[in-house]
Amino acid sequence: QSVLTQPPSVSGAPGQRLTISCTGSSSNIGAGYDVNWYQQLPGTAPKLLIYANSIRPSGVPDRFSGSKSGTSASLAITGLQAEDEADYFCQSYDSSLSGYVFGSGTKVTVL
Amino acid sequence: QVQLQESGPGLVKPSETLSLTCTVSGDSISNYYWTWIRQPPGKGLECIGYIYYSGFTNYNPSLKSRVTISVDTSKNQLSLKLSSVTAADTAVYYCARSNRGWFDTWGQGTLVTVSS
């Protein structure tokens, strides 16, 4: 059972906008810890997509954006493309566990 | 450009100790925290623990009694030992560089299967 909750799957047509939620609690996201997002393409290692809630590393398209509010965070993908089909994970720090925690993961399907 | 490469046995017998090494190239291991993360087949990610070059460690409470993470600065390597393994420990094991709370560089991962 993951500390951070994500929807198991979301889907959309090419060009559409998708959002993925990441719900935590007062010991992680709600405590002010940063939320980071990773994209995992099939058969590959996760790749950092968003860090510190909303910052894109160099090379990540600006179609990807992140936000955080209260005990939740969101990843938005605009102009959905076939290459965006992957698993997406949120990650933060939890003070009660004194360690890093991941979300349960969301599979994005491009219709 | 920093690169991480995990290595170790792909098959471990139940009750034995899983041992993996992560070799860091392109950067000094002394500059960051380094983390071991695992992913059971078809499942999510779990942080096993992390280490600083000084030897400071932090382990996942659910694994703490069985985990040891160490660093060899002379070889620019970090190691993972997980004792008394069971089938539930079957997973792809990743090492990753921790940069102020996020993991900005990952190894390709290595699948470890626990089976007799």
DSSP notation for A28-85:
TGGGT---EEEEE-TTS--EEEEBTTTBPPTT--TTEEEEEETTEEEEEE-S--GGG-
Q: How confident is the model at residue B31 (pLDDT cuts 50, 70, 90)?
A: confident
What confidence score (pLDDT) does residue B73 get? Answer: 92
pLDDT at B112 over 80: yes
A43 CB within 8 Å of a chain B CB:
no
What confidence score (pLDDT) does residue B93 get? Answer: 98
Longest dimension (CA), chain B: 40
The mean per-residue pLDDT over the stretch B24-44 comes to 94
Sign of CA dihedral A78, A80, A83, A84: positive
For residue A27, the SS3 value is coil
Average pLDDT, chain B: 96
Q: How confident is the model at residue B53 (pLDDT cuts 50, 70, 90)?
A: confident
What confidence score (pLDDT) does residue A79 get? Answer: 96
**Distance, first Cα to last Cα, chain A:** 29
Q: What is the percentage of chain B residues whose pLDDT exceeds 90?
A: 92
A54 CB within 8 Å of a chain B CB:
no
Q: How far is CA A40 from CA A83, A89, B24, in A?
A: 11, 8, 21
DSSP label at residue B75: T
Q: How confident is the model at residue B99 (pLDDT cuts 50, 70, 90)?
A: confident
The list of chain A residues with pLDDT below 70 reads none
What confidence score (pLDDT) does residue A2 get? Answer: 84
> What are A51-63's pLDDT values in tens digits?
999 999 999 999 9
pLDDT at B70 over 90: yes
Q: How confident is the model at residue B80 (pLDDT cuts 50, 70, 90)?
A: very high
- Which of B32, B102, B110 should one mutate to test binding to chain A, selecting the residue with the greatest count of A CBs within 10 A? B102
Within 10 angstroms of residue B63's Cβ, the number of other Cβ atoms is: 16
Contact B47 A102 (CB under 8 A): yes
Contact A91 B35 (CB under 8 A): no
What confidence score (pLDDT) does residue B17 get? Answer: 98
d(CA A108, CA A90): 14
A to B CB pairs, distance under 8 Å: 61
A37 CB within 8 Å of a chain B CB:
no
The mean per-residue pLDDT over the stretch B48-56 comes to 92
Phi and psi for A29 in degrees, rounded to 5?
-60, -45
A98 CB within 8 Å of a chain B CB:
yes
Question: Which chain A residue is nearest to residue B92, measuring alpha carbons?
Answer: A45
pLDDT at B36 over 80: yes
A91 CB within 8 Å of a chain B CB:
yes
d(CA B79, CA B81): 7
